[in-house]
Amino acid sequence: MKLNVQLHLHTIESKRQNVPTESVIRPKQAIDIVKKNGIDAVAVTDHNTTRYVSRIEKYAEKKGIILIKGIEMDTDSGHLIGLGIDEEIEKKFKYGMDLLEAADLIKDFGGVVYIPHVFDIRKKGIGTRVKEVDGIIEVFNAMNIFGFENKYADIVADKLKRPKAVGADAHTPAMIPYCINVVDAEPDEYSILKNIIEGNVEFKDCRYITLRELKEWVLKRISLSYVDIKDNIRNGWIPDDWYMILANNRFIKPLENAVLEFGIRTKNSKIWDFVTYTSYFFAYFYSEFTRREFNTFILTL
């Protein structure tokens, strides 16, 4: 049986450190959109939590959708997903835990290791440590808008002889139908994951998030996280990356406040189109440095 499967999706239950509201998708809304778009199974992979399970498990069953229980862990070396896990894994996981310990934890809780956005330019993937972790490699992620990230993931999957899959990394309702795995399997979680590992899968609708969608997502996320962002500007951000260290500079904080207030008041302003394209321009040049670094790694495999 051919099943349409979405393997990488986040809801508002996702737990992040600095800006807690990451996705703008409500759990039951995700199931409704999946159903509407002819998707047979979905893996919800919220960051560092499985609390969405109690909110949608019965609802998904009622709608005839196969729910693959997942979690995306923030490890010391980047993000790692567990698919088909027991939701009790959340009680054992610790934010920033060792990458290999996280992989073992996924297996201990009956899950399959899934390696997302390996070569993300923000270094949120596990990058060169992909050699150390045996799992399904995500060879197309809709958020990897510069292209080479997905191309390199595909090359590495071939070189390391790892199973492949694709994922939308959906944070907005519009992204849910992106990057679908068509799996030849029985309609249950175990069979779907088993057949992906065995390579009985094809990919369709692999496309990137647009800059317009990206802008709208960021502005809505800011709106939903306004109080938390305000508190972090006042009390200090958790310095989990170089740009968060910069954000704690006392000369930068007034600018952050001004941008936050302006963003809340003028969400429909054309100036945000300018900011989006300018940000993309700088990110493109930054991506060239990471591309060269990862290219060197691939050449040595």
Task: Between 144 and 271, name the one with better pLDDT.
Answer: 144
Please provide the average confidence, as pLDDT, over all residues in the chain: 93
What is the model's pLDDT at position 168? 98
Helix axes 148-160, 271-300, angle to 10 degrees: 20
Residue 9: what pLDDT? 98
Fold of 2-210: TIM Barrel (3.20.20)
**What pLDDT score was predicted for residue 136?**
98
Mind listing the pLDDT tens digit for each residue in 249-268? 888 888 888 888 887 788 77
DSSP SS3 for 191: helix
Indicate the residue type of 37.
Answer: N
**For residue 269, is it left (φ>0), alpha (ψ between -120 and 50) or beta?**
beta
pLDDT tens profile 71-117: 999 999 999 999 999 999 999 999 999 999 999 999 999 999 999 99
The pLDDT of residue 238 = 82
Residue with the larger pLDDT of the pair 218 and 66: 66
Give the pLDDT score at 175: 97
Domain borders along the chain are: 2-210, 212-300
> Would you call 299 exposed, middle or buried from its count of C-beta atoms within 10 A (0-12, 13-18, 19+)?
exposed
For residues 185 and 201, what is the distance between their CA atoms, to the nearest angstrom?
9
Q: What is the pLDDT of residues 207-230, one digit of tens each?
A: 999 999 999 999 998 888 888 888
User: How much is the average pLDDT of 47-65?
Assistant: 95
Higher pLDDT, 238 or 39: 39
